Structure 1
Amino acid sequence: MPHAAHAADAPSAPPAARPEPPLRVLVGAVLRRHRERQGRTLRDVAAAARVSVPYLSEVERGRKEASSEVLGAVCRALGLRLVDLVGDAHAVLARADGRVVVDLAATPGPGAVTALPRRTTSPSAVVLAA
């Protein structure tokens, strides 16, 4: 007699993916976080990047899509490299997706593990290196 299919035997549908935020929102949040960590004002960073304060504010809030030239200027004004900006945005997306993020460029703090395993068994691990 043929085997009857059970609901448990049916392939499960992948979980509904959460919509990813627009890249401009991630980039703006990363820029703002770096600026605030440095204790700098919008006016200070805008002047150093040679962009207007209202424009930089809009970029930080994710309302304007900045050109690569503007992003480069703002990154330089903040002492960042573009790879740092992209890496931080990637880390935010990876964490939101439930992945473990290891930043190999980060300076280890007290008690930090300084050696990584040779191979990860987790398909959800993400390693960032700059």
Structure 2
Amino acid sequence: MVGDQLRRRRHHRDETLTETAGNAGVSPQYLSEVERGLKEPSSEMIAAIAGALDTSLIELTSAVADELRQTTAAPASAAVSVARGAFALAA
């Protein structure tokens, strides 16, 4: 989710991978892998990339936390019930 958030912020700024990577001091390939979730960067690397996007590590992690809260909240229409010893999902 961190990678998704970084990509969205980069796109919002209309920057290329090369531009943002250069500002962050990383290779475009590395940034691409971070955005796609293929690399697990250190907090220092995340902070460098966030800084290149004019955002702070706190703003970035808050946005990721908000997104996690939204995706993990179960919608009311997906109520789970137990019927005759078996689980059934209400659609």
TM-score (norm 2): 0.78
Relative to total residues, which structure has the larger helix share, 1 or 2? 2
Equivalent AA in structure 1 for residue 9 of structure 2: H
Runs of 4+ in 1 over 4 A off after TM superposition: none
Partner of 2:69: 94
Instruction: Note the residue ranges of structure 1 that are not aligned, 5 or more in a row.
Output: 1-25, 100-130
* Greater relative contact order structure (CA < 8 Å, 6+ sep): 2
Partner of 1:120: none
Task: State yes or no: 1:83 paired with 2:77.
Answer: no
Q: Deviations over 1:11-49 (max 9, x none)?
A: xxxxxxxxxxxxxxx100000000001100000000000
Task: State yes or no: 1:60 paired with 2:35.
Answer: yes
Distance in 2 (alpha carbons) for counterparts of 1:79 and 1:34: 9
Task: State yes or no: 1:72 paired with 2:53.
Answer: no
* Fraction of identical pairs, as percent: 42
Give the deviation of 1:98 after TM superposition: 2.1
TM-score (norm 1): 0.55
Task: State yes or no: 1:27 paired with 2:2.
Answer: yes
Give the deviation of 1:87 after TM superposition: 0.6
Give the deviation of 1:77 after TM superposition: 0.3
Q: Deviations over 1:60-102 (max 9, x none)?
A: 0001001111111101100000011101110111001228xxx
Number of residue pairs aligned between Structure 1 and Structure 2: 74
Distance in 2 (alpha carbons) for counterparts of 1:71 and 1:93: 18
Partner of 2:25: 50
Distance in 2 (alpha carbons) for counterparts of 1:93 and 1:70: 21
SS at match of 2:15: coil
Distance in 1 (alpha carbons) for counterparts of 2:9 and 2:34: 14
Instruction: Note the residue ranges of structure 2 that are not aligned, 5 or more in a row.
Output: 75-91
